[in-house]
Every structure is written in structure tokens, then in C-alpha cells.
Structure 1
Amino acid sequence: MVLTLENRSTASAPKHAIATPSVSRSLALLGGAAGFAVAFAAAYLLFVHTAGGQQVENGAVRNAQLGQSTSDWSQPLRQVDMIVLLGAASVSIVLISLVRRRFSLGVAGLIALAGPVVVSQILKLYVLERPDLGEHRVASHNSFPSGHVTAAMAVVVALAIVLPRRFRSFVLIAGGFGVAWVAAATVSLGWHRFSDTIGGCLLVAAFGFAVAAVLSRRHLARVAVTPAVIAAVAPLLFVLAGYAVLSTATSGPAQFVAAMVLGAVSAIALAGFQLWQLRRVVFDIP
């Protein structure tokens, strides 16, 4: 009888697995920040610097300024003092960082809060212009990006950074709905257009991802290339999708409703998108 002995080392040796291409988490976050910045610029150029963009948005503004479409639910925004809100958020960030003994995290949170708010005002008041493309029936001054939406989203992102990671999902999800109300209310009150609201969200996200990239640079975590590419490309797709949907509305009332809905949906979607990208990022540095 002939016995055949199996070569155990050969039989048990695992097959070579195909390595999944990956990049450092910090680099992926920087790519995401760049993607949000590109989408911000695209929103401005597409909605503000083209006749088609101005036309699809001005119908909503005219309808809101008639005074017949403003809903009661948006009126409380008139009573909100954004300076007080930002001041309270700043104090909260400092206190949280002191309680957690994370001074650097507090500084990062303040940068994520103040950075986009200051930049949005500089861009809106001194840098960006709204060209005259023949739409004379509405205010011609530049309103891009929305200061209210920028401030609201900045508070949410800053708190998501400075609070312990177990609170991050709740802050971004609940905060996203709060920002959605602010975005829709600014359109309802005739203060802003849809592009102004999504521009504010994109600006905050760019700052948030940049801050997250700096905070995560000490960690060696890596992410697959595909999610990193999605993070860089998806923000621009949000803008293009918003333009495509808003362009389907042909009457003033339809444009008004579409602008409100798009502003709210975009705020929630961008908050959720940030949660998807930031949920595993470690911010707990000394």
C-alpha cells in the first residue's frame, strides 16, 4: 500500500490576496476639501455668472418678494441673532475642549467655526460680484454665499469636531436638519437663492475637511481609493444635480418651492455626506 503524504505547508498556504489601493486618511480628507472648494466655485459660476443660472433662481426670489409665499414657519429666523449664536457656540467649544483637556481640539473647532463665517462675508461683500445679465426685476447685489446657512452649518461641524466621537453622528444628523430649516427659511423670506444656501454648506465642508485632515495627520489610518475619489467628486455632482432639478421648474411658484426644497435637501445630504467621511476620523489629540 502506498501512502501519499500531503504537503501541509503547500496546502495551508494562503493564496496571495490582491492588495486594495489605498491612500492616507489625511490625504483623502484634503482631496475632499479640494472637492468642496471646486464645487463652491462651480456653484458660483454656474448660478451667478450665467444667464440661465440667474433666470432659474430669480423666479424664486420674485415669488418670495411678493409677500404671498412666505410661510409662518420661516418667521422665527428673523429673530435669530447670528452674532449671539456664534458667540454661544464659541464659548461652548472652549468649555468642551477644557473639560476634555484637548486644547488643540478646541483651537481646531474654533477655526472650523470662524473660518468659513469670516471668509463667506469677505467673499460676499468684497470679492464676488453678481454680473448684470439682463435680470433687472430682482435685487442685483451679490448674496452668494448665505451668511446664515454658513453660520448654522459651521456651528454643527465645529461641534462635531470638538465633541467625543460617539456624539458625531447625532450632531451631524440633527444639525443637518437644523441647517435645512435655515436654508429653506432664507429662501422663503426672499433673502437668498438656492445657490447661496448650497454655497454656504460647501464652504463650511471645505473648511471642516481641511481641519480634519490636519487633525488626522498623526494617525496612520488608510482608506480605499474609491471612497477618497467619491469624496472629491461628489460635491460637484450635488451642484450639477441641483441645477438640473431647478431648471425643470418653469413658473415662479414652482421655482420658489423647488429652491426651498433643494436648499433643505442639500443641507441634509451634505451633512450626511460629511458624516460618512468623518465618522471614523480620530480627532482626539492633546
Structure 2
Amino acid sequence: MAVLTPETPTSETPPPAPRHALAPPRRSRTAVLVAAAIGFAGAFVVAYLLFVRTEAGQRAEDGVVRFAQNLPRSTVDWARPLAGIDGVEVFGAAGIVIVALAVLRKRFALGVTALVLYLLPLAAAQLLKIYLLDRPDVGSAGAPHHNSFPSGHVSAATAVLLALAVVLPARFRTWVLAVGAPGVAWVAAATVALSWHRLSDTVGACLLVAAVVSAGAAVVSARRPDGSRIPPVLTAIALLGPVAVVLGGYAVLASATSVPARFVAALVLAALSAVAVVLLAAGPLRRVNFDPSGARNRLSGAAGS
């Protein structure tokens, strides 16, 4: 007589479920994108609280603004081309280019996605700057105290770059971001040199755009997971890297021993912070499939194999 053990199969034991070729893969890339969106948004809040809402932050940045206002014109000639740019025309043309690239690639849905990720952070920047955020007068007198956080110029430059990275083929994404980051850095430093914006305005602008685009990419990735397994250390960098950029910039600016030194530090930090934020965004965005038609083609190919 046979003795049944827990390991002995019976006729009532259901067979193991077959693994379907199109079973939903792990969504680790989505987790990294969510971490990046949270990290950028959290760093945006930290930058606002540290630089705008504290006396120490305002004193450090107001000194830079007053110094920039009194500089000889020739000292900042390198930044003057920005003053001759019509922002509405340039950034409107950028939107047309984004749509045109999508049409040339015959990817209409991709163009809509890129255009939304381009316009949404621009609208958010203006809404926050004009209606929701303020700059209390808790620092030194003598500098403008209307709210300028975040910078519209830097928001637009960052949004153009990230939208181009979305609409172009994914194999070019890293190169586009690497080549375009110095352009965003120049815009950020130029707005400080021309006394239009403070360091925090430029950093906050980059962080805001990166947060919005990362959040949008997380939504796309959750709907079209690619199954990539991403090391936890990359998730930690995506979450903590942005706030490290803010804290490092604040520490350097606050430790400068003279106003000219703070002015130079603000220029350098504006440029470096812009590059750092773009590169932090580039990692999680590198292989996100923003194109719905591409996702359908990949699934069809898997079904036929």
C-alpha cells in the first residue's frame, strides 16, 4: 500500500502554470524612474527652502545679484547673446521642431508625448513662480525680492533638451543629453551673470523639468515595461543624487569668503549643477521606450517567435 507524502503528486494537484512568452516582466526600470522623479522633486523643495526661505540663503544670493548689477558691461559679454534672444520665438520654434521630428519619423503618438513633456514643465514653472511660491524678505536689503524661483529661461532650455531626447531615436538619447547639457549650463550661468536670476532659480528650474519628465517616463514605463533589471545602487543615486547637488551648491556658496568669490562660485555652480541634473536624468531615461508603436512591434515580434 502506497503512502502519500506532502511531496507525492495526486490527481487533485493542479499542474504548474506555464510561463507564457509574454508574461509581464519585472518593472525595475519603472522603480528607478519613480525614484528619480521623487529625488528631483524633493531636491526642488530643498533648494527652495534653503535658498529662498532662509536668511542665510537670501544673504548669499542677494550679494551675488547686487554684484552682478554693478559689473562693467564688458565683463559679462559672453552672456549678452542671451539678452538678444526672443524667448517666445525660440522656444515656440523648438516646439515646432519637436513635432516635425516626430512627423519625419512617422511617430505621431511619440510627438504628442514629447510635446506634453516639453510644455508641462514650462507651465508648471510659471505657475509656481507667479502664483504659488513667494520670496519673503528675510535676508539683506538692496536686492530684488520678487520671486524668481524657478527660472523660466533655464526651465525652457532644459525642457527643450529633454524633449529632443524623447522624440529622437533612443540610441541617440545619451549623446543628445551629453552634447546639449553644456548649452543648458551656459543659459544657467548667463542668467546669473546678467543678474536676471539667482543660483537657486537655475538649479530649481533644472530640477523641476527633470522631475516632470521622469514622472512622465515612469508612467510610460509602467505601461510598457521592458524587463530590464537595474542594480539597486542606481535607484539610490536617482533618489539621493539631486539633493546632493543642492546641498553641495549651498555649502560652497555659503562658505565663500567675499562677494566676488560668491559671484564666481554662483556662475560655476549654476553651470555644473545644470550638467549634473541633466546627467542624473539621462541614466533612468536612457532606455525608456516612449514610442507606443515601437512597443506594439516588439510584442508582435515576440508572439511570432
Give 1:33's aligned residue: 37
The alignment partner of 2:185 has SS state of: helix
Letter in 1 for 2:36: G
Change in CA separation of 1:216 and 1:204 when aligned onto 2, cut-off 3 Å: same
Q: In 1, distance between residues paired with 2:180 and 2:202? A: 15
The alignment's TM-score, normalised by the length of structure 1, stands at 0.89
Give 1:263's aligned residue: 270
Q: What amino acid is aligned across from residue 234 of structure 1 in structure 2? A: G
1:81 correspondence with 2:86: yes
Q: What residue number does 2:282 align with? A: 275
Aligned position for 1:54: 58
Q: CA deviation at 1:284?
A: 2.9
Residue in 1 aligned with 2:187? 182
- Where do 4+ consecutive residues of structure 1 move more than 4 Å? none
- Following superposition, the deviation at residue 283 of structure 1 comes to 2.5
> Larger deviation: 36-45 or 216-225?
216-225
What per-residue deviation string (whole Å, max 9, x for no partner) do you get for residues 10-46 of structure 1?
Answer: xxxxxxxxxxxx8521122012101100100110000
Matches within 5 A, 1:237-256: 237-256=244-263
Task: Tell me whether 1:66 sits opposite 2:70 in the alignment.
Answer: yes
Does 2:210 align with 1:205?
Answer: yes
Query: Over the residues paired in the alignment, what is the CA RMSD in angstroms?
Result: 1.4
Identity across the alignment (%): 52
Question: Given the superposition, is the C-alpha separation of residues 68 and 252 from structure 1 closer, same or farther in structure 2, using an over 3 Å criterion?
Answer: farther
Aligned to 1:219: 225
Classify the secondary structure of the residue corresponding to 2:230: strand
Contact 1:23 1:223 in 2 (8 A): no
The Cα of 1:208 is off from its aligned counterpart by: 1.3
CA deviation map 1:128-180 (0-9, x unaligned): 11011142110111110010000000000000011001221221112110000
Given that 1:62 and 1:252 are in contact with CA atoms closer than 8 Å, whether structure 2 keeps it comes out as: no
Counterpart pick for 1:231 among 230, 235, 238: 238
Kept after mapping to 1: 8 A contact 2:58/2:139: no
2: distance between equivalents of 1:134 and 1:52? 7
Distance, in Å, in 2 between the alignment partners of 1:103 and 1:40 is 32
Match of 1:6 in 2: none
Alpha-carbon distance in structure 2 between the residues aligned to 1:246 and 1:285: 45
- Measured in 1, the distance between the counterparts of 2:131 and 2:104 equals 39
Q: Deviations over 1:33-64 (max 9, x none)?
A: 01100100110000000011111111111100
Q: What is the DSSP-based 3-state SS (H/G/I as helix, E as strand, rest coil) of the residue aligned with 1:192?
A: coil
Bigger shift: 256-265 or 165-174? 165-174
Counterpart of 1:151 in structure 2 is: 156
| Structure number with bigger Rg | 2
1:136 to 128, 132, 141: 141
In the alignment, the residues of structure 1 paired with residue 148 and residue 66 of structure 2 have an alpha-carbon distance, to the nearest angstrom, of 15
Secondary structure in 1 aligned to 2:144? coil
Match of 1:5 in 2: none
Cα offset, 1:112, TM superposition: 1.4
Letter in structure 2 aligned against 1:101: K
Distance 2:41 2:254 in 1: 23
Whether the 8 Å contact between 2:241 and 2:280 is mirrored in structure 1 is no
- TM-score of the superposition, structure 2-length normalised? 0.83
Query: Who is 2:12 aligned against?
Result: none
Aligned residues: 265
- The secondary structure found in structure 2 opposite 1:223 is coil
- The more displaced of 60-69 and 263-272 is 60-69
Shift of the alpha carbon at 1:212?
1.4
In structure 2, distance between residues paired with 1:74 and 1:89: 21
Contact 1:29 1:213 in 2 (8 A): yes
> Displacement of 1:205 after TM fit?
0.3
Deviation of the 1:111 alpha carbon: 1.4
